[in-house]
Amino acid sequence: MNLILKTILTPARYSYRSLLYIKKRSKTIFQKSEDSYKIHNSQYIDPTALENHKKTFKEFENQDLFNHPENKIEQLLLEHPNVRETAVDIGCGAGWMSAKLSETFKNVIAIEPSDAAIEIGKHIFSDKKYSNIQWIVGFAEKELQKYQLEQPVFFVTGCVLSHIIDKTVKDICAAVNNIAQKGSILSFAECWGKESHDFMWHIRTKEWWQQQLSDWKLDFHGPTIQNLSDRHKGFHGIKIK
């Protein structure tokens, strides 16, 4: 057995750092499936989280994040005016995107594993004004399977899947495929380009994404990120069969 891997598997010798095993040559990463949730949830249970997200959401509005080159959501929706019944926000966090989409869609399904994040979202975006948002606490790969959607819908993510291991992302994409009707659209603000895996930061190839979303025509429009020509974020898609 590889000496580094053997060391990592030795119980009680190494702490959290042991989970960050990266073999440099093969760029293999050791990330547990729950790591993303634990780190993600920690930002919402912080006592300052509510006020911090209020400030952050104001910045999102000022920056017009809805139409940032990574998203270009208004353009996508204008191209598909028939998709207005339901939007599904995968990993909605405290719900800024869900609230934006509620202005256009009859129903918004906001899925988020952190109960603390959902509570912040409900506080900022009250039911009185945003009554068409359905807040769901749970993991998308499981929650999506509970829906039977009879009309084309809109799926959106905001750099959620790029923090999650391949198996979970495959499960989420499979669930999206299973419930999406032909003509559904998506906007994934996720990383693509030359394959690279670091802890909580995964760049996957266009071919990899297309394989997971085989029934979709994908448009990899996203801009470069991190000042690297082979790393991008953001793509659109339409389900063609």
Instruction: Give 75-84 pLDDT, tens digit per residue.
Output: 999 999 999 9
Angstrom distance (rounded) from CA 191 to CA 143: 23
> Is the domain of 167 the same as that of 124?
yes
* CATH of residue 94: 3.40.50.150
Tell me the pLDDT band of 29, cut-offs 50, 70 and 90: low
> Is the domain of 153 the same as that of 39?
yes
Angstrom distance (rounded) from CA 43 to CA 226: 23
> Is the domain of 3 the same as that of 89?
no
| Cβ-Cβ contacts under 8 Å for 112 (sequence gap 6 or more) | 91, 92, 93, 95, 118, 121, 135, 136, 137, 138
Which residues on neighbouring strands pair with residue 88, listed in sequence order?
A: 109, 155
pLDDT over 50 (residue 7) = no
> Is the domain of 168 the same as that of 99?
yes
> Is the domain of 44 the same as that of 150?
yes
Residue 4 belongs to domain spanning: 1-30
Give pLDDT tens digits for 188-221. 999 999 999 999 999 999 999 999 999 999 999 9
> Is the domain of 144 the same as that of 182?
yes
